[in-house]
Amino acid sequence: MRVSFVCRSFAELTKFELYEILHLRSLVFVVGQKITAEPEVDGDDPSYHHLMGRDEDHRIVAAARLGLEREPVKVGRVGVRTELQHRGIGGQLMQAVHESIGDRPAEMHAQAYLESWYASLGWQREGENFLEAEIDHVRMVRGSPSRSLRHGG
C-alpha cells in the first residue's frame, strides 16, 4: 500500500485532520496498546508539526508529531493504524520523518521492542531502558542530539 505524506504545523491543521490524528493515536495507543497511564492528548500538540500519511481513500493511516522548532528535533507519537501494521507503512512513515527533519539531529523515546527496527532505519540507542506510560522505552537518537528528552513524545 502506498501512502502519501504531508507535514503541517498545528495551526495549519483542519479540524477534521486534527480529529483524524487524535482518533488514530487513540486507536493505536489507547485501544491497541492499552496505554492509559498518561493522557494521549497531553497538551503538547500545538507546539508540534504533524506528519500525516493518507491512503488511496484519503484516510489518515499513519502519523507522527515532530518538534521541528527544537534542537534536536523531537520525534514522537509515531503510529500506524493497527490493522495496517506490518505492511511497510511504518517504514514509509519513518522515511517521511527523515525527509521532514533532513540532516538535523533528532531524538525519540521508542518502545523498547521496536529498538532493532528503528536501528535498521539509522537510529541508535542512547542510555538504559526506562518506563514511560508503564511501557519499556529506550531513548534513540539520529545525528548528534545536544539535549535529552524530558517528556514523552
In DSSP terms, which residues pair with 4 in a beta bridge? 54
Instruction: Show the CA angle centred on residue 49, arms to residues 143 and 67, nearest 5°.
Output: 35
For residue 151, the 8-state DSSP code is S
User: What number of other Cβ atoms are within 10 A of residue 30's Cβ?
Assistant: 13
pTM: 0.90
- Say yes or no: domain 4-105 is CATH 3.60.21.10: no
Residuewise pLDDT in 10s, the chain (153 residues) = 889 999 999 999 999 999 999 999 999 999 998 888 788 899 999 999 999 999 999 999 999 999 999 999 999 999 999 999 999 999 999 999 999 999 999 999 999 999 999 999 999 999 999 999 989 999 999 986 544 444 445
Distance CA 144, CA 106 (A): 7
What are the backbone angles phi and psi of residue 93, rounded to the nearest 5°?
A: -60, -45
Q: In the chain, what are the domain boundaries?
A: 4-105
The one-letter amino acid code at 105 reads: P
